[in-house]
Amino acid sequence: MGNNMIQNRCKREYLEKELKARFPGADIRVDSAEINMTGERKAKGDSFNKIFGVSKDVKNLPPYCEVNVTWRTGEFEEKIIIWSPLTWNGRFAGTVGGGAETGGAGYLTAPDDFTRGWTVPYAVMKGFTAATANAGNINGLHDYMLDEKTGKVKRELYENWRARTTHHMTVVGKAVAEIVHGRPVQYAYMNGGSGGGRQCMVEAQEYPEDYDGIWASCPAIHWNRFLLEGLWFLAVMNTNHHILKPAKIEYFMKRVWEESGGKDIYFSSEKKPVFDANTFVGAMSEGGKITEQDAKVMQAFWDGPKDADGNRLWYGFRPGVKFWNVGIPVGGFYYSLIRKQPKPFFLTTLYARWVTEQPKRKFEKITIPEFEALFKQSIEKFKDAGADQADLSVFQAHGGKLIVDHGLNDPLIPVDGTIDYYKNVVACMGKEKVDSFFRLYLVPGDGHGNCWNEQPGITESNGLKALMDWVENGIYPEEIEGVQVSMKKKEILKKALIRPVDCIDDWA
């Protein structure tokens, strides 16, 4: 189809009529449709997106049709953005968000091959029609999930965040591509990391015919379990009336590296390190002598959340992983800059408020018994938030291919949760069948969603190429090249071939 015909179809009235015909009964409208021939797009993210580098101006774009759609579900509105290049390769790219955001205008950012989770501009530059969507549950640090008057969870909005908005983005995005270009989508792909990885897994589990290939990086599956872990660290210290100083927790981490044979060997190892924190009692750190109380708290951190009978509730971060920060409010937890008081990660507080339905509650004084009750309440109240369904047989029968990668040095999401999920899928479907469509890559020294960690991680382009070759050419992804880059200049420091897991027990 010629560009003139495509431009004639990139009209608000025409697209709205066609979409309403495709989705009868849906409360859907097209807010705008226009051709962008400038090659540029100014970032329109909120201040939160810009501060964290998510939203950056885009240049070198091909001519494309931009369509903005609103899909109304009850009293809530989903905002869907679709970009379709005038020269289209027949493929659709589903893009996602991060944290508690599903995506949206703030994620229309400049491409970065060293950050996993493709964006709409990245995909459009490769010839894809691409889409992103905002469920409307959060704007920056303002959370709309709880009713301001009653404190109750807005269940329709919750369902939009959990699954529905991402599915609507997918079907509307594909429809716009087909309407504008007059031919069907040949292949559909989805890729995202962290909270976006959760969205990817929900698609494979609940909408298994939406995509031909999905790549979920460091996925925030088991959302209803791992996200509360930030409060476990505080509960341990509060219950023991003992704050583990930043200098002492740093000492434990470095001693693990040392006892493993040195930092380089530690970050190259596939095996889970096992340490007894009590062996370091009496040692001198920059924060003073390591005491029995220090060791008791550190061991509880490593072991992860447990109930009153000592049964595991969830996995801890592996010994040697830096899962805390000082002054920077990101990680499993962090210490305040001046007083060095432990504080929960903001997403942990956000979700704990969903669970308690107390929109202004603080959790800094939580105890272990209170944590256990909160954890159990989370599982009961948000059973469907885990994105942890093990039966992927419909996705497999559809011909779908799934790649999941997770760095062993992830400081936000314990990698053993992903290992747990993979084991459950194998137990449900059998190893031979799983190997035919699902490959897991566990990456020593890799962190959370980017390539500037302790060892090479998968780049965006290499991961997508492996996925597309598997889907379209039947080429099994035996190895994917990874790189390690410097954080500031993004200079390549090291390369490595990353291979999928064969025997999962070797990594546990």
Q: What is the pLDDT of residues 130-175, one digit of tens each?
A: 999 999 999 888 999 999 999 999 999 999 999 999 999 999 999 9
Residue 31 has pLDDT above 90, yes or no: yes
User: In the sheet that 91-94 helps form, which strands lie side by side, from edge to edge?
Assistant: 27-36, 64-73, 76-85, 129-134, 91-94, 187-193, 213-217, 401-407, 438-443
Segment holding 192, helix H or strand E: strand 187-193
Q: How does the average pLDDT of the chain come out, rounded?
A: 96
Q: What is the pLDDT of residues 207-264, one digit of tens each?
A: 999 999 999 999 999 999 999 999 999 999 999 999 999 999 999 999 999 999 999 9
DSSP one-letter code for 137 = S
Task: Give φ, ψ of 158 to 5 degrees.
Answer: -60, -45
CA distance to 375, 485, 497, per residue, from 494 (Å): 41, 7, 11
pLDDT for res 5: 83
Specify whether the CB–CB gap between 227 and 355 falls below 8 A.
Answer: no
Instruction: Give the whole-angstrom CA distance, residue 100 versus residue 411.
Output: 17
- For each of the domains in the chain, give its residue range(s) and CATH number, in order of start: 1-185 (no CATH), 188-221+387-508 (3.40.50), 226-383 (no CATH)
